[in-house]
Amino acid sequence: MAAAASPQKPQPTTNSWPIRQVANPPLPYRDIDQNEAPPTALVSVIRSLGQSFKGKVGIAVRRIGADWTVAWNGNSLFPQQSVSKLWVSMTFLDAVDRGKLRLTDTTTLTRNDLTLFHQPSAALVAKQGGWTTSYSDLMRRAMTQSDNTCNDALLRAAGGPDAVRGFLARRMIKDIRFGPGERLLQSATAGLDWRQDYSLGRNFYAARARLPMSVRVKALDNYLASPPDGAAPSAIVAALAKLKQGDMLSPASTRLLLNVMSEAKTGPQRVKGGVPAGWHYLHKTGTGQDLAPRSTGYNDVGIMTAPDGTSYAVAVMIGSTTVPIPERWALMQAVSKAVAANHETR
């Protein structure tokens, strides 16, 4: 076995963001004509939850099949983090629908394909010296386990960040940005320029820890001020509603993605923790980097379905906060409880 290379001194990045202008830059939010009015109690609860939370939070609830959205900070851009995996899977499935790719196609991942943070697939790559699997499996792992390396491989197959931006633009989805990919996004957020050896072990954490605190604070502040993966909660629930209604993908791909989202293992105590018995919830979470005392990009977006079949798209996005995780859970669960409590049977 070759000797490990001696660690190199991490180099702070001085650029703002290593990405080009997005193909579909967020536009000013425009209110839609609402044919139905939301429950006044739900409006009051969402406003109260947003006002009382200690941190920057965005909340949006949209009744699918109706033309109303209840929101707090619904038009502001919040870091998506792994919520953006949802758009990668949609873009990939759109390519499948157009006959460009097949779910059964396979690819082989090596150490050069590894990313950082949560990547259970890294163990498979290391054990086998290379791991071959189907794109269907990559999508399932990316969506249910939030595996960054699987998602990155799926993104490359789909055509990269520009393909995702193009897909969102074709579907008339505004106010949702897509960043440069996991490695560049996370390294710039930390104040580093990406090196592939950061994908191994704790190398990224060690390099980040060696940076001057002033560099880390500035990098995180820049990220939060204009997140390249930013999205408006109201835009996300609109996109989820279109997905549920079959306006994003073919019927087969829609069913597949919704089924995969229902199998998500992440965030059981977030929005899902407040969903009452008899209701169903399928979702995608996101979690950003911490720099004490701040936590960033703590999110959960998904679709709640009542026993009578009525569905609600829900997005709770905590851009930045200093409160502990149980308080974040309490906020998210309060949103899902409020949706259920104010559900009006058709």
Task: Give tens-digit pLDDT for 262-282.
Answer: 999 999 999 999 999 999 999
pLDDT at residue number 35: 57
Whether 290 maps to a domain, the answer reads: yes
Q: Kindly state whether residue 32 falls inside one of the protein's structural domains.
A: no
55: confidence class by pLDDT, cuts 50, 70, 90 = very high
Say whether pLDDT at 114 is over 80: yes
Nearest in space to 318 (alpha carbons), one of 63, 56, 129, 108: 56
Residue 52 falls inside a structural domain: yes
Distance from the Cα of residue 250 to its chain's centroid: 22
Give a yes or no: residue 21 inside a domain.
no
Tokens of 167: 């897909």
What pLDDT was estimated at residue 128? 86
pLDDT tens-place string over residues 279-338: 999 999 999 999 999 999 999 999 999 999 999 999 999 999 999 999 999 999 999 999
| Domain assignment of residue 11, yes or no | no
Looking at the 3D structure of the chain, how many domains does it have? 1
- Cα–Cα distance measured from residue 181 to residue 147, given in angstroms and rounded to the nearest whole number: 13
What CATH number corresponds to the domain at position 149? 3.40.710.10
pLDDT 10s digits, 43-53: 999 999 999 99
Q: Cα–Cα distance between 269 and 260 in angstroms, integer?
A: 19
pLDDT at 344: 79
Query: Considering the chain, what is the average pLDDT of its residues?
Result: 91
Domain span at residue 333?
40-341
Closest CA to 331 of 313, 312, 311, 317: 317
Note the pLDDT of residue 346. 58
Give the contacts of 335 (CB within 8 A, at least 6 positions apart). Answer: 46, 49, 59, 61, 271, 274, 314, 316
- Report the greatest alpha carbon distance in the chain: 67
pLDDT digits (tens, 9 = 90+) for 128-165: 889 999 999 999 999 999 999 999 999 999 999 999 99
Residue 19 lies in a domain: no
Best CA proximity match to 83, nearest among 20, 174, 176: 176
Alpha carbon 23 to its chain's center = 19
Looking at the domain assignment, is residue 85 inside a domain? yes
Say what the pLDDT of residue 278 is. 97
Determine what percent of the chain is predicted with pLDDT higher than 70.
89
Q: Is residue 105 part of a domain?
A: yes
Q: What burial class does residue 134 get, using C-beta atoms within 10 Å of its C-beta: 0-12 exposed, 13-18 middle, 19+ buried?
A: middle
- Where does the chain show beta strands of DSSP type E? 55-63, 69-72, 78-79, 106-109, 131-134, 230-231, 280-286, 290-291, 294-305, 311-321
pTM: 0.89
